[in-house]
A = this chain, B = another copy of it.
Amino acid sequence: MPKSRLEAFADGIFAIAATLLILNVAVAEGQPLGPELVRIWPSYAAYAVSFVTLGVIWINHHLVMHQVSHVDRLFLVLNVLFLAVIAFIPFPTRLLSLYITTGDAKAAALGYGITLTLTAVMFNAIWRYAAWGRRLIRQDADPKVVSGIGRSYLPGPIIYFVATVVALVSPQLSAVLYGLIALFYVLESSVFGRAEAR
């Protein structure tokens, strides 16, 4: 079974989920616009963090599919479940935008963290399934690259789980951590990317 349609479907879900994030950026009508544009700053931050997070996950999905030679039906089903979590991200992003500066910040930060932890778990599941016994890996893939990818994805669920638990004590700190994780992954991708480009 060719992998191109899975890539098209996945690229579509990533692109739409990322673009729908903008619907969470909205001002209250009937209020003076200037102060409103300042008041809704958490929605800009949440937009940026979620868009970049989706972008980094998309790049990593790109890397995984690059190592994969073909897909089977269980791999497709795992990807559908994974993409269901990806397409869910606009909802907790909306919660962060609306509630992180209110008394309901804890529920919002927990909702965001649980979703992102689940995303990282699902991503690892997809990779483990593809790489187990090199089931779906293309023959000419470099074993070092394959085992390197496996190692680099392991910490994701733990990092997001820790940031989620922090929300129980300080939702605001937890939100900052979500931003720092996204920033870390962007920098790590960029530096790694520069190494590859040499």
Instruction: Tell me if A8 and B7 are in contact (CB < 8 A).
Output: yes
Cβ contacts A64-105/B at 8 Å (1 or 0 each): 011000001111110011011001101100010011000010
Instruction: Tell me if B33 and A104 are in contact (CB < 8 A).
Output: yes
- Report the Cα distance A125→B198, complex, angstroms: 19
A17 contacts chain B at the CB level, 8 A cutoff:
yes
Query: In the complex where A80-B59, A91-B22 touch, is A11 in contact with B5 (Cβ < 8 A)?
Result: yes
Instruction: Tell me if B19 and A9 are in contact (CB < 8 A).
Output: no
A95 proximity list for chain B (CB < 8 A): 27, 33
Binds B, one of A148-156, A162-170, A172-180, A185-193: A185-193
Return A151 CB to nearest CB of chain B, in Å.
17
Query: In the complex where A16-B19, A29-B98, A47-B88 touch, is A190 in contact with B77 (Cβ < 8 A)?
Result: yes
Instruction: Tell me if B7 and A7 are in contact (CB < 8 A).
Output: no
- Report the Cα distance A72→B66, complex, angstroms: 13
A193 proximity list for chain B (CB < 8 A): 72-77
Return A150 CB to nearest CB of chain B, in Å.
18
A42 contacts chain B at the CB level, 8 A cutoff:
no
Instruction: Tell me if B81 and A189 are in contact (CB < 8 A).
Output: no
Query: In the complex where A75-B193, A196-B72, A197-B72 touch, is A13 in contact with B9 (Cβ < 8 A)?
Result: no
The 5 closest A-B pairs by CB, nearest first: A73-B193, A12-B15, A55-B80, A33-B104, A72-B197
Binding site for B on A (CB under 8 A): 1-2, 5, 7-9, 11-23, 25-27, 29, 32-34, 37, 47-48, 51-52, 55-56, 58-59, 62, 65-66, 72-77, 80-81, 83-84, 87-88, 90-91, 95, 98-99, 104, 106-108, 111, 135-136, 186, 189-190, 192-194, 196-197
